[in-house]
Amino acid sequence: MLKFKGLREPVALEFPTPGLWKILQQASIWSNRNGYDVVIHSIHDHTHAKASLHYESLAVDFQVRFANGKPNRAAMSQLATWLRGTLPSGFDTVWDVPHHKNHVHCECDFRARPRKN
């Protein structure tokens, strides 16, 4: 089950983009198959890096927690692996790197990169 619980303020989104729905759908499949609730703690709310896809409702921050509320890193590793393996190209999952040690960030990024020709 997906649960929406902001860490500092309610979870908000401006527009439910198809990419956002795809991320939420895949996270819910993982949750249902593995027996862990997944907490969505940020979409388009709070403060993120400049130009973050959170500001376009194209990024989601997830946590999987133990019953006592502490982050379950092993389960989040499994969730990140699942998202990387099941979402098509254009989606990026960020986990276990600086600033992403206690939550999984997943985004739909189809932005064009600088041209090389």
What is the number of the residue whose Cβ is closest to Zn ion? 105
Q: Would residue 103 be called left, alpha or beta, if left means φ above 0 and alpha means ψ between -120 and 50 degrees?
A: beta
Closest distance of CB 72 from Zn ion, Å: 18
Amino acid at 104: V
Sign of CA dihedral 52, 54, 55, 57: positive
Element (H, E) at 77: helix 73-86
Of the pair 19, 116, the CB lying nearest Zn ion is at 19
Of the pair 35, 49, the CB lying nearest Zn ion is at 49
| Residues within the interface to Zn ion (CB under 5 A) | 61, 105
Closest distance of CB 77 from Zn ion, Å: 17
Closest distance of CB 59 from Zn ion, Å: 5
Of the pair 30, 107, the CB lying nearest Zn ion is at 107
**Sheet architecture: strand order including 38-42:** 2-4, 38-42, 59-63, 104-108, 91-94
- CA–CA gap between residue 27 and residue 69 (Å, rounded): 19
Of the pair 45, 61, the CB lying nearest Zn ion is at 61
Closest distance of CB 105 from Zn ion, Å: 4
